[in-house]
Amino acid sequence: MTLDSISRRRLLGTAGAAGAAGLVAGGASAVAADRATRDDAGTTALTSIGASAVDFGGRARAHGTPQAGILDPHQVHGHLVAFDLAPRADRKAAAALLRRWTQAARALVEGRPADREDTGSALDAGPASLTVTMGFGRTFFGKVGLTKQLPQALAPLPDFSSDVLDKARSDGDLWLQIGANDGLVAFNALRVLQRVAGDTARVRWQMTGFNRTPGATDKPRTTRNLMGQIDGTNNPKPEEDDFDARVFVPKGGDASSPAWMAGGSYAVVRRIRMLLDTWDHLSLEQQERVIGRRKSDGAPLSGGTETTPVDLEKFTKDGSIAIRGDAHVRVAAPESNQGAAMLRRPYSYHDGFRDDGQPDAGLLFIAWQADPMRGFVPVQRKLDRGDGLSRFLRHEASGLFAVPAAAKPDEYVGQPLLEG
């Protein structure tokens, strides 16, 4: 099937600054909005939501150029999908798959059809900030004869007492994170990338999530989760001095990572169901004590506003500690974990109701770090033992993926691994 992409290109050409000045505007500048106009026919011009494009080639940082989808603003729609290699797929077949995925993703993130068989559900829309991020699971390396390149950082995550993991929805040889501000663009990318996998790899699991729509709130940096709590306030900030060391593998690699992972990051993926009915039975004050922050504005119970640093030593007037010993912000704080921190960039999910009448809903937790042993693992160990919030959470699936740096022009994602 062939697709006429003229109307789509025309749209991009009339999209104002974000479209005309350069299709791939990249990052925050692409979010600067064009004025939406409505003519007599009731049509609305493509606004920044549709016209914004994220550069698949990434943006350079101190350690290299990470893939898109890690530092970019979270999108409205997200798909996480893990693949397992077919039994006969070897290193050459895997390399060809990554080459095909890279080629398709390059077209899709620019708002072009991926190939002649692109199903067309993304037609009429701009790129809508589509990102496609690719990673490798631990099981990939043995299957393609690359165990020498297996990062120590991909050691299996330890068991945690609050885990009730579904193995069928955990792990996987390969992992894609797809995000876009339009649902049809995101779905089309998922379909295309699955089709392009051909006989080389098949879907192991797939999950769909959502985030706040741009423009629905004036707080784009943080979002609320389904418990109603502001999420992400304490995230490391890209402008902080130690940000790159925390999130990205240094040039040349390190003790946990071979050189092919330089500039890359590790994604810890957890499907965390929230026991929302139980949670909602708590009073507002009880909920706030469990978290350690005010629900209305996210300010820590130690005082100030959302962005005020948490004061773990603060006592209230009545002599009690402001932030309880088992409050989530205390147990998760870098100060409580020898500085361990990770960049969280989650989606919420809601897959209807379970047989027990409870909502099957919660957080597709995605955390980025240079080494899970200095990020997710120590923090989760601590949370697992002492976090008052864990009573309301169930970790139902888990994955850990090595996400290399962005592909250089004319290369494909993972080429330094597969042809190194």
Shortest distance in whole angstroms from residue 250 CB to a copy of itself = 27
Shortest distance in whole angstroms from residue 4 CB to a copy of itself = 4
- Cβ neighbours of residue 198 closer than 8 Å, sequence gap 6 or more: 97, 100
Structure tokens at 228: 């109603």
Give whichever of 150 and 276 is closer to a copy of itself, judged by the CB atom.
276
Give whichever of 347 and 412 is closer to a copy of itself, judged by the CB atom.
347
Alpha helices in 110-232 (DSSP H): 138-143, 183-197
Which are the catalytic amino acids?
Answer: 231
The radius of gyration computed from the CA coordinates of the chain, to the nearest angstrom, equals 22
How far apart CA 299 and CA 271 sit, in angstroms, is: 26
How far apart CA 274 and CA 360 sit, in angstroms, is: 8
Shortest distance in whole angstroms from residue 86 CB to a copy of itself = 13
Give whichever of 103 and 119 is closer to a copy of itself, judged by the CB atom.
119
Give whichever of 143 and 350 is closer to a copy of itself, judged by the CB atom.
350
Place of tokens 């295309």: 192
Give whichever of 183 and 253 is closer to a copy of itself, judged by the CB atom.
183
Strands 393-403 and 265-274: what pairing? antiparallel
Give whichever of 117 and 335 is closer to a copy of itself, judged by the CB atom.
117
Shortest distance in whole angstroms from residue 407 CB to a copy of itself = 26
Shortest distance in whole angstroms from residue 312 CB to a copy of itself = 24
Burial of 142 (0-12, 13-18, 19+ CB in 10 A): exposed
How far apart CA 313 and CA 311 sit, in angstroms, is: 5
How far apart CA 163 and CA 166 sit, in angstroms, is: 9
How far apart CA 348 and CA 359 sit, in angstroms, is: 13
- Cβ neighbours of residue 291 closer than 8 Å, sequence gap 6 or more: 229, 327, 328, 329, 389
The residue type found at 62 is A
How far apart CA 108 and CA 53 sit, in angstroms, is: 10
Shortest distance in whole angstroms from residue 293 CB to a copy of itself = 12
Exposure of 37 in the CB half-sphere (CA atoms within 13 A): 8
Shortest distance in whole angstroms from residue 329 CB to a copy of itself = 17
How far apart CA 103 and CA 267 sit, in angstroms, is: 22
Q: Considering only CA atoms, which of 181, 210, 163 is closest in space to residue 349?
A: 210
Buried b (16+ CB within 10 A) or exposed e, 190-228: bbbbbebbeebbeebbebbbbbeebeeeeeeebbbbbbe
Give whichever of 63 and 79 is closer to a copy of itself, judged by the CB atom.
79
Burial of 183 (0-12, 13-18, 19+ CB in 10 A): middle
Give whichever of 145 and 238 is closer to a copy of itself, judged by the CB atom.
238
Place of tokens 């004319």: 410
